[in-house]
């Protein structure tokens, strides 16, 4: 428990850093933001007025404190494109992105762990070579290109995937009543099995294409960690004692290989959260990534800033979870730090 | 030198793929340098009569919605794509090496400040941070490079920091200090040359990622503007023709991206085998 609180406190500097960077980003804007917000018809006095209204006439540290205070009250400003508060825009779209990222991670883990273990048990076999090939290919394909290839193959050519336009075919189905915002969970809660099936069908291609890029590092680390574990003395002892292979593989080797795998998850989440932006763009997914792309293109700074802040916050929290998971898996971690 | 040659022979003999990667690299560099004269057509020339023509003898990669020859565009784009990635990788290499060397050699408060800044960069999902940086600094190719440099900096910096840290108490460094050298000459003439080989491996492994990152940014409309030929933006332009089956519009520029990234990843692996045979996986 002591470790938990210490680690939780450890996120505070990261969060302060994140807030500071997003603040600085908004001040790196090209040109004079006051002139920008005052509009093209503004003169010197109206620009000065806007400047005072936005607080841009005060010193940077004072502006930062105001910014931090706004954040504390959940005020991320208003989006220029939707006209809504950025916070409510993000809250509305975040479940869609989290759902997509979760399914992508699930796919990557479910595919990569057995693959890595299998490759490690038969080094230099055909399985091992295909694992390495898959890892190199997965690492070389841009996420958006995989997404588009899948659309071409499975929607256009084989016609087995639904139209890649969003989270649900709105003509045939209506979205389930919003509880969590994730269609799969909400449709289960509402008992609408048809909607569940339809939303899962929409999820498959985007999450697999997003997961492909995460698959490579997980499979590579699993393979390497398993090879190392299988080569160590305690495995030799276990083998010599005549334990069944299954038990040696799962209880002895895999348990020990899990720590490096957990540690690589931080990097994997960085990929997934970044890649989700591209995948949402490809599949017309109504998540925060697609929202941010529109915002970036139309110079909607408050929205971009809110998006970057939200993703960073999410990422810091995910890293916290990963660290806690690592100590649950291997208590030695607690004493090293 | 003899061992290096033997390692090279071994790395190439053992892993034919490294040889393939060298050939692809040569091809890419050729396109990047002589692209405009190699391309059969003007990459910007539109042809209303030859819109969305499938691959044929006249247009091996087909044409796009404006009748521009995709092969020519893919070839000419190599310069911009590789240029952005090389510039970003080299700048983050130099910057990361300098910052990491300072942090690792001096320790104390320079180390604390530099490490904290790097930790803060790493607290963001990196592609998201790159989007934020380009949005803030302005939508241009230069700022895409700046963003890529910033998100790559921590990897080089941390690597250089730990390598310098290990070496600063070593006998030959102590000897150099005894000989009256101040910090800068010790770092530049004694320590940095020793950490260059592993850093070069890092650069090569990093290049592929830099390409993916820059292409991802241009895919969502940042940096490069149409009609400039660039692989990421070409994929994005071709994406709208998928549902009508004009696959060549996005497949060829995408394949060029894959080939380039694949090539640099293989080279990185090969280089690592060459310089550091112990770290093979």
Mean pLDDT score, A158-168: 80
Any idea what DSSP says for residue A75?
A: -
pLDDT in tens, A216-249: 889 988 988 888 888 888 888 888 888 888 888 8
Contact A17 B129 (CB under 8 A): no
- Cβ pairs A/B, distance under 8 A: 155
Q: Say what the pLDDT of residue B153 is.
A: 93
Give the minimum alpha-carbon distance from A227 to chain B in angstroms, rounded to a whole number.
Answer: 9
Contact B265 A139 (CB under 8 A): yes
Question: B42's torsion region: left (phi>0), alpha (psi -120 to 50) or beta?
Answer: beta
**Average confidence score pLDDT of chain A:** 84
Task: Indicate whether this complex's ipTM tops 0.90.
Answer: no
Contact A274 B125 (CB under 8 A): yes
CA gap B40, B59 in Å, rounded? 9
Using CB atoms and an 8 Å cut-off, which of residues 111-150 of chain B contact chain A? 116, 119-121, 123-139
CA distances from A62 to A12, A18, A66, B14, B71 (A): 21, 18, 6, 62, 55
Contact A149 B124 (CB under 8 A): no
Q: Are B251 and B5 in contact (CB under 8 A)?
A: no
Contact A136 B212 (CB under 8 A): no
CA distances from B126 to A56, A107, A125, A311 (A): 29, 22, 36, 10
Q: Is B195 on the interface with A (CB under 8 A)?
A: no
Q: Are B201 and B156 in contact (CB under 8 A)?
A: no
CA gap A261, A254 in Å, rounded? 10
Residues of A in contact with B254 (CB under 8 A): 142, 145, 148-149
Q: Say what the pLDDT of residue B94 is.
A: 93
Q: Is B221 on the interface with A (CB under 8 A)?
A: yes
CATH number, span A86-172+207-336:
1.10.3720.10
Residues 6+ apart with CB under 8 A from A201: A161, A162
Please tell me which residue of chain A has the smallest CA distance to B215. A142
Mind listing the pLDDT tens digit of every residue in chain B (281 residues)?
566 666 666 656 566 778 888 888 999 999 888 878 887 878 887 777 777 778 887 788 888 888 788 888 989 889 999 999 889 999 999 999 999 999 988 888 999 999 999 999 998 999 999 999 998 888 889 999 999 999 999 999 999 998 888 888 888 888 888 888 888 888 888 888 888 888 888 888 788 888 888 899 999 988 888 888 899 999 988 888 888 888 888 899 999 999 999 888 888 888 877 776 665 54
Mean pLDDT score, A24-41: 70
Over B49-92, what HEC string results?
HHCCCCCCCCCCCCECCCCCEHHHHHHHHHHHHHHHHHHHHHHH
Q: Is B166 on the interface with A (CB under 8 A)?
A: no
CA gap B205, A321 in Å, rounded? 29
Fold assignment, B2-21+29-41+62-280: MetI-like fold (1.10.3720)
Compare B277 and A303 and report the one with higher pLDDT.
A303
Give the minimum alpha-carbon distance from A95 to chain B in angstroms, rounded to a whole number.
Answer: 18
CA gap A269, A262 in Å, rounded? 11
What value, to the nearest 5°, has the Cα angle with vertex A280 and ends A146 and A216?
A: 40
Strand partners, B69: B63
Q: Is B208 on the interface with A (CB under 8 A)?
A: yes
pLDDT in tens, A182-202: 888 888 888 888 888 888 888
pLDDT at A70 over 90: no
Any idea what DSSP says for residue A171?
A: T
Q: Say what the pLDDT of residue B194 is.
A: 84
pLDDT at A282 over 80: yes
Give the minimum alpha-carbon distance from B190 to chain A in angstroms, rounded to a whole number.
Answer: 32
Phi, psi of B220 (to 5 degrees): -85, 10
Please tell me which residue of chain B has the smallest CA distance to A227. B281
Task: Determine what percent of chain A is predicted with pLDDT higher than 70.
Answer: 94
CA gap B64, B46 in Å, rounded? 9
Q: Say what the pLDDT of residue B7 is.
A: 64
Q: Say what the pLDDT of residue A30 is.
A: 61
Long-range contacts of B217-221 (CB under 8 A, 24+ apart): B217/B130, B217/B131, B217/B134, B217/B144, B217/B147, B217/B148, B218/B144, B219/A142, B219/A144, B219/A278, B219/A281, B220/A277, B220/A278, B220/A281, B220/A293, B220/A296, B220/A297, B220/B131, B221/A293, B221/A296, B221/A297
Q: Say what the pLDDT of residue A335 is.
A: 65
**Whole-prediction pTM:** 0.88
Contact A144 B236 (CB under 8 A): yes
Contact A274 B132 (CB under 8 A): no
pLDDT at A274 over 60: yes
Facing B133 at nearest CB: one of A25, A152, A297:
A25
Give the minimum alpha-carbon distance from B1 to chain A in angstroms, rounded to a whole number.
Answer: 30
Task: Using alpha carbons, select from A105, A113, A115 the residue that is nearest to residue A261.
Answer: A113
Mutate to test the interface with A, among B123, B140, B232, B260 (most CBs of A within 10 A): B123
Q: Say what the pLDDT of residue B4 is.
A: 66
Contact A308 B128 (CB under 8 A): yes
Facing B136 at nearest CB: one of A29, A155, A220:
A29
Contact B124 A311 (CB under 8 A): yes
Name the residue ranges covered by the structural domains of chain A: 2-72, 86-172+207-336
Facing A148 at nearest CB: one of B132, B245, B250:
B250
Using CB atoms and an 8 Å cut-off, which of residues 87-116 of chain B contact chain A? 116
CA gap A32, A51 in Å, rounded? 9
Cis peptide before B273 (omega within 30 of 0): no
Residues of A in contact with B251 (CB under 8 A): 149, 152
Q: Say what the pLDDT of residue B35 is.
A: 78
Mean pLDDT score, A255-267: 86
Facing B128 at nearest CB: one of A26, A224, A311:
A311
């Amino acid at each position: 428990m002591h470790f938990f609180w210490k680690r939780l406190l450890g996120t505070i500097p990261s969060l302060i850093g994140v807030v500071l960077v997003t603040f600085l980003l908004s001040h790196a804007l090209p040109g004079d933001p006051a002139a920008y917000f005052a509009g093209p018809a503004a003169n010197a006095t109206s620009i000065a007025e806007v400047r005072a209204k936005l607080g841009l006439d005060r010193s940077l540290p004072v502006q930062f404190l105001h910014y931090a205070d706004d954040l504390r009250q959940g005020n991320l400003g208003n989006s220029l494109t939707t006209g809504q508060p950025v916070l409510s825009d993000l809250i509305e779209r975040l479940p869609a992105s989290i759902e997509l990222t979760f399914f992508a991670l699930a796919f990557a883990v479910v595919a990569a762990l057995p693959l890595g273990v299998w490759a490690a048990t038969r080094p230099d076999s055909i399985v091992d070579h295909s694992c390495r090939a898959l890892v190199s290919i997965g690492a070389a394909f841009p996420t958006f290109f995989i997404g588009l290839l899948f659309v071409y193959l499975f929607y256009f050519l084989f016609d087995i995937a639904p139209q890649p336009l969003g989270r649900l075919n709105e003509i045939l189905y209506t979205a389930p009543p919003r509880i969590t915002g994730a269609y799969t969970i909400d449709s289960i809660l509402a008992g609408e099995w048809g909607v569940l099936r339809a939303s899962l069908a929409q999820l498959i291609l985007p999450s697999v294409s997003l997961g492909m890029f995460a698959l490579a590092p997980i499979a590579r680390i699993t393979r390497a960690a398993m090879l190392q574990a299988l080569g160590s003395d305690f495995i030799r002892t276990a083998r010599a004692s005549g334990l069944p292979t299954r038990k040696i593989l799962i209880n002895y080797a895999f348990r020990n290989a899990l720590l490096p795998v957990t540690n690589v998850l931080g990097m994997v989440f960085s990929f997934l959260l970044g890649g989700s932006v591209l995948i949402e763009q490809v599949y017309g997914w109504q998540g925060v990534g697609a929202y941010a792309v529109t915002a970036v293109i139309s110079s909607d700074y408050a929205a971009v800033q809110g998006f970057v802040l939200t993703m960073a916050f999410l990422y810091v929290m995910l890293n916290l979870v990963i660290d806690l998971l690592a100590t649950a898996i291997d208590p030695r971690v607690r004493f090293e730090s | 030198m003899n061992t290096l040659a033997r390692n090279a022979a071994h790395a190439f003999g053992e892993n034919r793929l490294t040889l393939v990667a060298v050939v692809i690299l040569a091809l890419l560099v050729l396109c990047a340098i002589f692209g405009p004269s190699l391309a059969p057509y003007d990459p910007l020339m539109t042809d209303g009569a030859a819109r969305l023509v499938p691959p044929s003898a006249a247009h091996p990669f087909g044409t796009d919605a404006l009748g521009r020859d995709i092969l020519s565009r893919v070839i000419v784009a190599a310069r911009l794509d590789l240029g952005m990635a090389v510039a970003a990788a080299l700048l983050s290499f130099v910057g990361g090496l300098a910052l990491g060397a300072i942090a690792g050699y001096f320790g104390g408060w320079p180390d604390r400040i530099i490490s904290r800044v790097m930790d803060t960069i790493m607290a963001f999902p990196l592609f998201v941070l790159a989007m934020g940086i380009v949005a803030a600094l302005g939508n241009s190719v230069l700022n895409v490079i700046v963003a890529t440099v910033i998100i790559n900096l921590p990897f080089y910096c941390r690597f250089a920091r730990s390598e310098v840290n290990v070496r600063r108490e070593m006998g030959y460094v102590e000897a150099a200090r005894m000989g009256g050298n101040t910090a800068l000459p010790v770092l530049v003439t004694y320590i940095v040359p020793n950490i260059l080989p592993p850093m070069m491996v890092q650069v090569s492994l990093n290049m592929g990622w830099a390409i993916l990152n820059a292409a991802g940014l241009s895919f969502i409309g940042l940096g490069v503007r149409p009609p400039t030929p660039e692989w990421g933006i070409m994929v994005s332009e071709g994406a709208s023709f998928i549902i009508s089956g004009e696959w060549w519009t996005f497949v060829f520029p995408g394949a060029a991206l894959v080939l380039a990234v694949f090539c640099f990843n293989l080279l990185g692996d090969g280089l690592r085998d060459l310089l550091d045979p112990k770290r093979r996986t």
